[in-house]
Chain A
């Protein structure tokens, strides 16, 4: 019963480096999203997708790219990492048709940019 799987769990990057955070879900959920969590703040939405081939920006999209080529996968790309992107990142998914559906989170990815 995998649910939402994120990799890697920990990553240290140098400023300017690029990387991809992977996210996969096995629940056939249409909706997937990426959040970041910073100290003293709740989770903030970066990007989301309501199905393969469809993505859109959330509250804090700058510095991140996403794509959705399959229902299962929703990678988050940092093209040129900055120290301000040091954060904990959460991937989440849910059924999209009903807005009341429960959202399921991955275990988080700790990213440090030095």
Chain B
């Protein structure tokens, strides 16, 4: 079964600075999707960004971008110009294109933004 690992339980960043959250995954498949979800204190799961494995170009959504390294099975999230509202738990997730009924989540990284 696929596994997703987030090796940073907690991260901290100064407001307006840049922070990178790490994610690695283990799979033998070639077609899959990767996601970053944000979970603020309200516990709502909010999609931040997604990446199709077949695309070489890294996904970008405003201040959020990813560094997708397929050979290394790495999928890091970069948050630029960090804002106080970015403080949350961030989850990396994997979904297979062959068995698309399940998503595998990492344990999460708690991001603190200091004013």
B-binding residues in A (CB < 8 A)? 31, 33, 40-45, 48, 50, 56, 58-59, 88, 90, 92, 96, 99-100, 102-103, 105, 107-108
Contact = CB atoms under 8 A, between A and B. Distances in A.
A90 B107 CA distance: 16
Given A44-B105, A45-B102, A99 B33 contact: yes
A107 B103 CA distance: 18
Contacts of A58: 101-102
Contact of B100 (A90, A99, A102): A99
Of B45, B52, B95, most buried by chain A (CB within 10 Å of CB) is B45
B93 A42 contact: yes
B75 interface: no
| Those 6 A-B pairs whose CB atoms lie nearest each other, nearest first | A42-B105, A99-B100, A105-B45, A108-B43, A43-B105, A99-B97
Given A105-B45, A108-B44, A48 B102 contact: yes
Given A100-B52, A105-B44, A105-B45, A43 B107 contact: no
A93 to B, nearest CB: 12
A59 B47 contact: no
B43 A107 contact: yes
Interface of B: 4, 9, 33, 42-45, 47, 50, 52, 91, 93, 95-97, 100-108
22 contacts: A33-B101, A40-B9, A41-B105, A42-B105, A42-B107, A43-B45, A43-B105, A44-B105, A45-B102, A45-B103, A58-B101, A92-B45, A99-B96, A99-B97, A102-B47, A102-B50, A103-B47, A103-B103, A107-B42, A107-B43, A107-B44, A108-B45
A59 to B, nearest CB: 7
Nearest to A97: B100
A56 B101 contact: yes
A58 B1 CA distance: 12
A22 B101 CA distance: 20
A39 to B, nearest CB: 9
Given A43-B105, A59-B102, A100-B52, 14 more contacts: A41-B105, A42-B105, A43-B93, A43-B103, A44-B105, A56-B101, A92-B45, A96-B100, A99-B96, A102-B47, A105-B44, A105-B45, A107-B43, A108-B44
